[in-house]
Structure 1
Amino acid sequence: MRLFWLALLPLLAACNSTPSAVNEGTVSGMTDRSTPDTSALPAPDTSHTKAVSAVSDTLRVARARHNFSSPKGPADAFKLVFRGPSVLEGTGEFTITDASGQVIFREMLTEPDLEASLVYEMKNPTATRAEREAFVLKRIDQFFQSSQFHTPAVDKKSAFPTNIENLDQATWTDLQQRPDAIRFDYLKGKEDHRGVTWSPLKKQVVRVM
């Protein structure tokens, strides 16, 4: 009987033992793969993130400051911003802003408005794309030359022009009495020479050419 119990002891010891180290390692490995530990991961690198610009389509900007709405100053800000997918598909916004920050004049200029006068400089029957682009950019860069500002805005002896929209006789006569009024001239299209000035009578910019 004693021999029987001695033979049975190893079997009882095996039943009461804990899982082996191999089994523990297997369970632990499965747990690690299902819930990975990310506490040691570095923070994402955003130092090279591409910036997003709201004015990425702006191709050229020309600026100038000149006395205009107030002959004795402060100066007004003249700006031409040319935007678009390409130079030959762009549109320019011409604005004049007074010293208080109010836009007193705005006009849109298409690419053909800026390119049309290229015909007078062409040496060949046709111009290349590069020549056309260069001409448009030059027109923008030279849009506000000092030679385009004139005083007086209206000559005393000039007859009232009847073909200018929104210009009335009273405004014209008032400008003729203001020798310090300033006119800005610019070319739109091939031969459309325009001149604008500030009318103290109407409190707005008027076209006089």
Structure 2
Amino acid sequence: MRFAWLTLLPLLTACNSTPSAVNEGAAARVADRDTTALPAPDTASAKAVSAVSDTLRVARQTHNFSQPEGPADVFQLVFRGPSILEGTGEFTITDPSGQVIFREMLTEPDLEAALVYEMKGPTATRAERETFVLRRIDRFFLPTQFHTPAVGPEATFPKGIENLDRATWNDLHQRPDAIRFDYLKGKEDRRQIAWSPLKKQTVRVQ
């Protein structure tokens, strides 16, 4: 009887250990199956983000500027921001080769300031302010704002204009085909710019 018990003991031990081994093997297979079943991240269907999603208004006009004759330059005002009354405009001039030859930032107050001359009361509504700013953008490049010559024959050298030296001004004064662009910044700051062949850059002449 003792011999029979000793003979059965290894078999009982093997039977007791088999469920654990089976469970571990099954768990390993499930883990492997779960890992391989996961699909690769789908980056191709990710939503594209637009860099110009905040663009509210664009005014664009082609006109000769850096070259009196030949291909025209591109004048552009791009107004961006969370709303019309919280935006900023980027005014650029791009020559026929694609080079930006002038850039200036215009704030919303720069574009709205002249509204005071049209107001019929002490204040303007938000809708009136927005309409005025949009109209200013749309009418920023009117044909009447381009002038030839850039410096009139009776003009005198203006003092106090940054980066304008007399040699540059004299050179433009002697060019009857030079073109000038006029625009309003703020309430009364009327600016005049022209392309200087001498300096190879856009300069303010008034």
Equivalent residues of 2:55, 2:81 under 8 A apart? yes
Please report how far the alpha carbon of residue 85 of structure 1 lies from its aligned counterpart in structure 2 after TM superposition: 0.9
SS of the residue aligned with 1:155? coil
Equivalent residues of 1:160, 1:172 under 8 A apart? no
Structure 1: gaps (5+ residues): 1-33, 38-47
Structure 2: gaps (5+ residues): 1-30, 35-44
Matching residue within 93, 118, 139 for 2:90: 93
What CA distance in whole angstroms lies between the structure 2 residues aligned with 1:85 and 1:164? 36
Post-superposition Cα deviations, 1:159-181, rounded to whole Å, max 9, x if no partner, equal 43343431111111111111010
Matched with 1:55 is 52
Matched with 2:3 is none
What CA distance in whole angstroms lies between the structure 1 residues aligned with 2:151 and 2:135? 29
How many residues are aligned here?
A: 203
Q: Alignment identity in percent?
A: 76
SS of the residue aligned with 2:193? strand
Larger Rg: 1
Equivalent residues of 2:164, 2:204 under 8 A apart? yes
What CA distance in whole angstroms lies between the structure 2 residues aligned with 1:203 and 1:115? 32
- Equivalences for 1:12-23 in 2 at 5 Å? none
Equivalent residues of 2:68, 2:178 under 8 A apart? yes
Alpha-carbon RMSD across the aligned residues, in angstroms, is: 3.3
- Equivalences for 1:185-204 in 2 at 5 Å? 185-204=182-201
SS of the residue aligned with 1:139? helix
SS of the residue aligned with 1:167? coil
Equivalent residues of 1:164, 1:208 under 8 A apart? no
SS of the residue aligned with 2:109? helix
Equivalent residues of 1:67, 1:74 under 8 A apart? yes
What CA distance in whole angstroms lies between the structure 2 residues aligned with 1:80 and 1:124? 30
Post-superposition Cα deviations, 1:83-135, rounded to whole Å, max 9, x if no partner, equal 11111111100000000000000001000000000001111210001110110
What CA distance in whole angstroms lies between the structure 2 residues aligned with 1:163 and 1:113? 23
- Equivalences for 1:63-82 in 2 at 5 Å? 63-82=60-79
Post-superposition Cα deviations, 1:115-156, rounded to whole Å, max 9, x if no partner, equal 000001111210001110110011000000111000011012
- Equivalences for 1:1-209 in 2 at 5 Å? 51-156=48-153, 158-165=154-161, 166-209=163-206
Amino acid at match of 2:157: P
Equivalent residues of 1:68, 1:76 under 8 A apart? yes
Normalized against structure 2, the TM-score is what? 0.77
Amino acid at match of 1:176: H
Mean CA deviation greater in 165-174 or 69-78: 165-174
Matched with 1:44 is none
Equivalent residues of 1:160, 1:169 under 8 A apart? no
Amino acid at match of 1:161: F
